């Protein structure tokens, strides 16, 4: 009886040892083979469950025939139904849930969080939304797609997020590029290199970026390569051609009405002070003709004939023919990305050329963006390096119709019947800053020619500005 009891105990212990076995394994990402710490592992129908360690490893006691349910935030859940192989640690690969990732991840420039964990008010602009509009600058692509982002057509601050927070200090929002504050011009960033933009709109951003976040924060993340990805080459080229501006769209007083008003004011002595001024205040051609007819230096019939001819002129015609043109914006970009098990890269070249609708105004930009990421020490160490180079060159020789004035001293606008060129296209002189008689006397006395010809000045000007930006990034994690 005693021997039978001992035999039964041994058989029960052996069967229990065969039924209960410790399984070891590891959960990693199928995309880049990185470990997934905190992945949930449980046995359906039981209370047994655990989470993976920092390196994605786990150890669980299970039966010989088993089913494991594995899940992780942002990845597709998976059920593993296999026969036990205790000598070979189990390797579980999870696929990314792309649809879920695209809608829940929020970047604050300091960290990336699921949408339900992010605090404050923010707006996300992904790559697809950013590419709805074709333009060579970032701000134009953000216009009309970011609620709360106000574009100021006048004033020092081009954009504002939280309104005017101060009277005289800088009201521009903080720009964060690849997790670092960016002090350069946002339009120097090539929009083809941008993966996503997050606009932080409320005071919660101040807990991350301090006082500068009081005007709002624009977080820009550029494109990167990926591990175990083949070489990908992307070419983007676009040409936008705009129509010549319609200078007659905005209603303005006609030359005939303008001259009629000048004749009325002259008859009431309005120009008497300017006529006798010691500073030689400029007078329009019509007023000069009225003075000549009054003083008898020109027959009244000839003065009337010239005034009648000036009533048929419109300076907008000369501006449209000689100062404006069709605009053309060109954008060309070449991107290369890819990676191996230990390294991934992204390289892009960009060239933009914008021809303004104003003749002799243009802008050229060349950009280079290169980033590399390396993994060492059995995936425990990651090194990030990057460089961005931008070279801008712009010319601004044409002030436009509103930039050419009758008097730069007083700011008086140009009279509407001015002629800038004759029928053959030769440049003509206009009354500007000083009376015509004073300029003629100064020239006769041996001084240089002070006459002003806007069309000639257009091709004499050489206003060119250039800038070069270097941005170096490095990180070790």
For the cut 80, the answer to whether the pLDDT of residue 316 exceeds it is: yes
CB atoms within 10 A of CB 235: 8
Q: What is the pLDDT of residue 113?
A: 63
Q: Answer positive or negative: Cα dihedral of 431, 435, 440, 443.
A: negative
For every residue of 59-118, DSSP letters joined together read: EEEE-SEEEEEEE-TTB--EEEEEE--TTS-EEEEE-B-HHHHHHHEEE-SS-EEEGGG-
pLDDT one-digit tens code per residue, 348-376: 999 999 999 999 999 999 999 999 999 98
Residue 204 sits at φ, ψ, to 5 deg, of -60, -25
Q: What is the pLDDT of residue 306?
A: 95
Q: Sort residue 33 into left (φ over 0), alpha (ψ -120 to 50) or beta.
A: left
Distances (CA, A) of 439 to 20, 319, 334, 373, 417: 108, 25, 56, 68, 21
CB atoms within 10 A of CB 462: 8
Q: What is the pLDDT of residue 214?
A: 77
> What does the pLDDT average to over 277-287?
92
> What does the pLDDT average to over 116-134?
76
Helix (H) or strand (E) holding 319: helix 315-322
At 150, the pLDDT band (50, 70, 90 cuts) reads confident
Chain centre to alpha carbon of residue 126 = 13
Chain centre to alpha carbon of residue 169 = 23
Residue 178 · residue 387 · CB < 8 Å: no
Residue with tokens 């009081």: 214
Cα angle for residues 429, 434, 436 (degrees, 5° grid)? 50
**Residues ≥6 apart with Cβ < 8 Å to 62:** 20, 21, 23, 43, 48, 68, 84
pLDDT one-digit tens code per residue, 217-243: 888 989 988 888 999 999 999 999 999
pLDDT one-digit tens code per residue, 70-102: 888 878 888 887 665 555 678 888 888 765 444
At 16, the pLDDT band (50, 70, 90 cuts) reads very low
Cα angle for residues 464, 466, 472 (degrees, 5° grid)? 175
């Amino acid at each position: 009886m005693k021997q039978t009891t001992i035999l039964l105990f041994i058989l029960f212990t052996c069967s229990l040892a065969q039924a209960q076995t410790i399984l070891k394994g590891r959960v990693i990402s199928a995309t880049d083979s990185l470990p997934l710490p905190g992945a949930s592992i449980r046995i359906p129908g039981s209370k047994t469950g655990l989470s993976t360690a920092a390196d994605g490893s786990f150890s669980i006691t299970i039966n010989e025939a088993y089913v494991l349910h594995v899940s992780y935030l942002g990845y597709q859940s998976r059920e593993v139904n296999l026969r036990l192989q205790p000598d070979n640690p189990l390797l579980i690969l999870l696929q990314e849930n792309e649809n879920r990732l695209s809608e829940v991840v929020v970047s604050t420039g300091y960290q990336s969080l699921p949408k339900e964990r992010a605090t404050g008010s923010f707006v996300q602009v992904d790559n697809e939304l950013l590419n709805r509009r074709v333009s060579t600058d970032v701000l134009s692509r953000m216009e009309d797609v970011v609620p709360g982002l106000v574009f100021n057509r006048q004033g020092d601050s081009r954009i504002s997020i939280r309104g005017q927070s101060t009277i005289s200090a800088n009201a521009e929002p903080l720009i964060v590029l690849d997790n670092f504050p960016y002090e350069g011009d946002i339009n120097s960033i090539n929009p083809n290199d941008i993966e996503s933009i997050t606009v932080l709109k409320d005071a919660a951003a101040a807990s991350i970026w301090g006082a500068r976040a009081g005007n709002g924060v624009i977080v820009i993340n550029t494109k990167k390569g990926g591990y175990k990805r083949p070489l990908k080459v992307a070419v983007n080229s676009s040409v936008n051609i705009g129509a010549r501006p319609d200078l007659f769209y905005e209603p303005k007083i006609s030359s005939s009405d303008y001259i009629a008003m000048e004749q009325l004011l002259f008859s009431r002595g309005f120009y008497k002070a300017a006529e006798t001024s010691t500073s030689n205040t400029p007078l329009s051609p019509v007023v000069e003709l009225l003075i000549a007819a009054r003083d008898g230096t020109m027959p009244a019939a000839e003065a009337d004939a010239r005034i009648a001819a000036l009533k048929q002129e419109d300076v907008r015609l000369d501006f449209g023919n000689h100062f404006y043109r069709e605009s053309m914006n060109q954008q060309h970009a070449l991107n290369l990305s890819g990676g191996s098990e230990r390294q991934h890269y992204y390289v892009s070249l960009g060239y933009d050329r914008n021809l303004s609708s104003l003749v002799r105004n243009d802008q050229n930009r060349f950009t280079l963006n290169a980033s590399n990421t390396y993994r060492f020490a059995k995936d425990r160490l990651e090194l990030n390096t990057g460089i961005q180079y931008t070279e801008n060159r712009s010319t601004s020789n044409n002030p436009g119709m509103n930039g050419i004035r009758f008097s730069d001293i007083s700011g008086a606008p140009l009279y509407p019947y001015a002629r800038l060129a004759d029928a053959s296209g030769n440049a003509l002189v206009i009354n500007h800053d000083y009376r015509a008689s004073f300029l003629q006397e100064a020239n006769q006395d041996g001084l240089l020619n002070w006459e002003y010809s806007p069309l000639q000045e257009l091709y004499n000007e050489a206003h060119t500005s250039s800038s070069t930006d270097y941005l170096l990034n490095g990180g070790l994690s």
